[in-house]
Chains A and B, each alone.
Chain A
Amino acid sequence: DAGVIQSPRHEVTEMGQEVTLRCKPISGHNSLFWYRQTMMRGLELLIYFNNNVPIDDSGMPEDRFSAKMPNASFSTLKIQPSEPRDSAVYFCASSWTRTGHNEKLFFGSGTQLSVL
């Protein structure tokens, strides 16, 4: 298996521009997570999907952030408009989650986002 695939690996954009991050989870996994990592705030959970349905989006910073999972093999995280404080590494992770059980997360390589 190719693992969790994220694109792009690096994104440099100007303040005010729209940014779209993409993720392809591991085939067969039913849960998908978007995390943001910064030095100041560590690894923050932004949103969690189970069976393509958003279960917990309480970590999404504000209305500028949105995430979709149109099918089991694809998810996007969009920032519009982007701001310098959004600069971070964004990780996508997937897992197989059974009722009452947490399984291990498999992380993608991340997208390094720089907003100038």
Chain B
Amino acid sequence: GQQVMQIPQYQHVQEGEDFTTYCNSSTTLSNIQWYKQRPGGHPVFLIQLVKSGEVKKQKRLTFQFGEAKKNSSLHITATQTTDVGTYFCAVSGSARQLTFGSGTQLTVLP
């Protein structure tokens, strides 16, 4: 299936600091999705990016899709304790199956 590398694996920030996680692929992606999983919970869909260079915002979250459609990022401005969790990117294979990145586990220190 489609492979995607996600970095960093872990990130600890002080509340109020910014946070960014990145996903990189060696091949061109048709689209990319982002999910958040709270500790002990299940992944919850955040957004899907489809167009080259696309930027979408959800309150303090900014999602970007690279011009070459080979990378994507999720940036959180001024983190809050409610942002704690693991953030995953997910990419689709030829049969529309979704493969998830390894995730970035975010810890926000109060």
Residues of A in contact with B (beta carbons under 8 Å apart): 31, 33, 35, 42-43, 45, 48, 50, 55-56, 58-59, 91, 93, 97, 102, 104-110
Chain A hits for B44, CB < 8 A: 107
Choose from B1, B33, B103 the contact partner of A104 (Cβ within 8 Å).
B33
B87-110 with Cβ < 8 A to chain A = 88, 90, 92-93, 95-103
Q: What's the tally of chain B residues with a CB closer than 8 Å to chain A? A: 24
Chain A hits for B1, CB < 8 A: 45, 56, 58-59
When C-beta atoms are compared, the residue in chain B nearest to A6 turns out to be B42
CA of A31 to CA of B96, assembled, Å: 10
Residues of B in contact with A (beta carbons under 8 Å apart): 1, 30-31, 33, 35, 41-45, 48, 88, 90, 92-93, 95-103
Q: Quick check: B97 and A43 within 8 Å, CB to CB?
A: no
A28 → chain B, closest Cβ, in Å? 17
Which one of B30, B42, B100 has the highest number of Cβ atoms from chain A below 10 Å of its Cβ?
B42
A56 and B42 contact, Cβ closer than 8 Å, known pairs A43-B88, A43-B103: no
Q: Quick check: A105 and B102 within 8 Å, CB to CB?
A: no
Q: Quick check: B45 and A104 within 8 Å, CB to CB?
A: yes
Q: Quick check: B42 and A33 within 8 Å, CB to CB?
A: no
CA of A102 to CA of B32, assembled, Å: 9
Q: Quick check: B45 and A105 within 8 Å, CB to CB?
A: yes
Chain A hits for B102, CB < 8 A: 42
